[in-house]
Amino acid sequence: MKKIAWLIVLLAAITIKVRAQAQDEFARTPKGDLCKKLTNNPGDKIKLNDVVTFDIIQKTEKDSLLGSTYMMGHPVKIQIQPSQNASDMMDVFPLLAAQDSALVKVPTDSLFNGHEDQRPPFLPKGSYLIYLVKIHRIQSLNDAIAERNKGLDSMRTAETVAEGKYIADHKLVTKTTPSGLKYFITKPSIKHKPLAGDTLLVNYTGHTLDGKVFDSSVAADAAKAGLNQPGRTYEPLKFVVGTGAVIKGWDEGWLLINEGAKAEFIIPSSLAYGSEGSGDIGPFATLVFDVELVKIKPIKHPVAAKPAAKKGVAKKHTTAKKNS
């Protein structure tokens, strides 16, 4: 509530300031943006390829709020590149230094050029989108990359520690493949294992290391976890293994267990959703799957040729003669 109240006060102050300066001259960029600097801080201006961290508020000319990074709870970070159109505002950033604020008017005609059918009624022809930009930080590309890599290394280390703690806390004895997949069999079977290209019918329940279930093909598990999966049919999932149709940890893991067996896969993020994450799964998240290989529908695999039996070959002994 305090953040919303603060935002309302800020917007009111902006509106008053904009109206008071209505007659002031705006600088026009080559792509047609209008920019009015509200501050003039010392320091180097933003350059091409710099990485800039900033907050931004987007409004209509009638002061209707369309978006705000303040309400999102975090600023945005972008690399400055050559401007392609007025909406990217890339020609505005080089006018600003760290801690500068600016009022930017972007012509809506540039946004809907060639597709007027997509123009909403509240952005008529000749109107502007209004942006208030606050620059927090400017970094060179090399510094930004170094900072990002340091952060990624820290997250990778944290993932490894969390995975080790999970295994220790649950007193698990696992096998580890060269890729880093860990698994153990909870219900063995003497039936055959699948081969790449086979179609599998499998049951599974997936959760994060902290126990949060994010998906399940088993109705009882989904209900217990309180999963909301409208329209979901709870039955074994059907897919072709070893073809990239699923995450790498699955393509590898299912080839390790027999039909009818149950197992637990502990899949590091490098074999799952990596540094980006997916949906409710965050970056660098190790995933745990309780799985059952219900049925294998094999394809016709080529029969490997047996190596030909080697015949005995008598060795021919020679003596190298030295020149006398």
Query: Residues with catalytic annotation?
Result: 204, 214-215, 247, 273, 289
Joined tokens for residue 269: 């993020």
Neighbours of 314 (CB within 10 A): 5
Give the phi and the psi of residue 318 in degrees, each rounded to 5.
-130, 155
Looking from the CA of 68 toward its CB, the CA atoms found within 13 Å total 17
> What is the rounded CA–CA span in Å between residue 59 and residue 34?
15
Strands 213-216 and 199-208: antiparallel
CA 16 from centre of chain:
40
CA distances from 85 to 29, 199, 303 (A): 11, 48, 59
> What is the rounded CA–CA span in Å between residue 133 and residue 217?
46
CA distances from 88 to 33, 69, 82, 107 (A): 10, 16, 9, 11
Q: Do 202 and 291 meet the contact criterion of CB atoms below 8 Å apart?
A: yes
> What is the rounded CA–CA span in Å between residue 92 and residue 104?
8
For 25, counting Cβ atoms within 10 Å of its Cβ (0-12 exposed, 13-18 middle, 19+ buried), the class is: exposed
> What is the rounded CA–CA span in Å between residue 29 and residue 149?
34
Joined tokens for residue 262: 């149950």
